[in-house]
Structures are given as C-alpha cells and as structure tokens.
Amino acid sequence: MRVTLFTAAFLTILSTASLAQNAVSIESNNVTSSQAKSLVRSAKTAADYLTLRDYYAHLARVEGLKAAEEKQEWDRRAANPAVYARKYPSPVDSAHYLYDAHLQSAKAAAAAAERYEKLAAAAKGNS
C-alpha cells in the first residue's frame, strides 16, 4: 500500500514537471541571461526594453511553475511529517523555503517585466 501510494505520488509529480517543462520550452525566448545583463546596461530603444520585458516575463513564468511544483512537494511532505527524521531543516521546511524562494524570484521578475514595459512605452512616446 505504501509503495503504491509513493509510486502514484512520484508519477504525478513527474508528469506535472514534464508538462510544465514542455509548456515553458515552447514559449521560451532566445535571450540568455548574459545577453539580458548586457542589454540592461545598454538598452536605449523601445525594442530593447520590449526584449527585456519578454525575457523577464518568461523568467517570471518559469519561476512561477517551479514555485507551484515546490508547493505540491511542500504539501506532500507536510501531510505526514512523522515519516521524516528529526533534524533541522526538516524536509518540510526545505520544501517550504524552496517554494518561498521561487515565489520571490517570480515576483521580482514580474516587477522587472512591468518596469521594462513602462520604459518601452516612454521610449515610444519620446520617438
């Protein structure tokens, strides 16, 4: 019974992760993180700002998906904390911390995407 439950949970997580990865890879843009960093320093046109907006919007989606996966893992581990050995940080805490980190990264990337959207609109208005 326990092995079957574990196998079912593992397959659910695996299928969710593969679906999320496929969804992200379809929508990915062609800007790498190093290209985005150099573009942040040299961006002057509306097209540059829109490229950065797209990069950060994609990053926010990816981090949001990772946060959702970690939330599922956190819920799974929190359902039966007695299974895990007494140590700090516990596996429940680790999943919680990963969820918080991915959620914070997603929020920061979404804020950056919004900022570059505004800069692009201002650059279009000035041209």
**pLDDT single digits (tens) 44-58:** 999 999 999 999 999
Residue with tokens 């989606």: 61
The Cβ of residue 72 has, within 10 Å, a number of other Cβ atoms equal to: 17
Q: What is the pLDDT of residue 30?
A: 86
Q: What is the pLDDT of residue 27?
A: 52
The Cβ of residue 41 has, within 10 Å, a number of other Cβ atoms equal to: 6
pTM attached to this predicted model:
0.73
pLDDT along the chain (127 residues), means of 10: 50 53 55 93 94 96 97 93 80 93 97 96 86
Share of the chain residues as helix, strand and coil, in percent rounded to the nearest 5? 85, 0, 15
Q: What is the pLDDT of residue 12?
A: 57
Residue with tokens 């509306």: 46
Rounded distance between C-alpha atoms, residue 118 and residue 107, angstroms? 17
| Sequence ranges of the domains in the chain | 2-126
Q: What is the pLDDT of residue 26?
A: 43
Q: What is the pLDDT of residue 1?
A: 52
The Cβ of residue 23 has, within 10 Å, a number of other Cβ atoms equal to: 12
